[in-house]
Amino acid sequence: MSLDDLETELRPIFLAALAGDAAAYKVFLDAISARLRGYLRRLLARTGRSEPSEAEDVLQETLLALHLSRHTYEPSSPVTAWAHAIARYKLIDHLRRTGRHAGNLPLDDEVYQLAAPESGAADARLDLERAMQALPVRTRRLVEQVKLQGASIAEAAGVEGMTETAAKVAIHRGLQAMAKFLSRRGRSP
């Protein structure tokens, strides 16, 4: 699928997601993550790193950033450009943090035009697990229930004796804390 086709397909889905459609949001995330996985693997390979687990780490960090920056999307602009720009920023940040020179990453848009989607997820390393350990216990239990047991937020909230809204807020804060943890790790103070 060319990038233009992907854009044509994803834009209405993402706009529906922004309006509150959680199912559309999931479709968007699945499609864009396959695309970004290919993009990140390709760019990492250029800097001499071809371990899929590393690309998966950067992908997870990028997805968290996309999620927490949904409000920065300009609705009249291409959603694929928005997503790739964030992925690129997170990749450069990752390279800088891990002591790799990012200077030879292509600045133009060509690479993401060419990168093929990769739907085969690799195992990420332990970064996100470690980020989760930094969460408050109750938030962590909520997260575990929703992600592992596939419980809905309403069910998980019931187990914890919270309202659904409170549970959503707690998970949102948890995701924020995880993103912060990831972007701080390995950075000199």
Answer for which of 121, 134, 159, 166 binds other proteins (CB under 8 A) is: 121
Q: Which stretch binds other proteins (CB under 8 A): 3-11, 38-46, 71-79, 99-107?
A: 71-79
Is the CB of 20 or the CB of 48 nearer to other proteins? 20
Is the CB of 50 or the CB of 69 nearer to other proteins? 69
Nearest-10 crossing angle of helices 3-18, 79-97: 100
161: left (phi over 0), alpha (psi -120 to 50) or beta: left
Question: Among all chains, which residue has been given the structure tokens 């009249």?
Answer: 76
Q: Cβ of residue 122: shortest distance to other proteins, in angstroms? A: 9
CA 137 to chain centre: 23
119 binding other proteins? (CB under 8 A): no
User: Do 53 and 122 meet the contact criterion of CB atoms below 8 Å apart?
Assistant: yes
Q: Cβ of residue 48: shortest distance to other proteins, in angstroms? A: 23
Residues 6+ apart with CB under 8 A from 139: 170, 171, 173, 174, 177
Answer for which of 23, 45, 114, 116 binds other proteins (CB under 8 A) is: 23
Q: Which stretch binds other proteins (CB under 8 A): 5-13, 29-37, 44-52, 100-108?
A: 29-37
171 binding other proteins? (CB under 8 A): yes
User: Do 153 and 146 meet the contact criterion of CB atoms below 8 Å apart?
Assistant: yes
Q: Cβ of residue 45: shortest distance to other proteins, in angstroms? A: 19
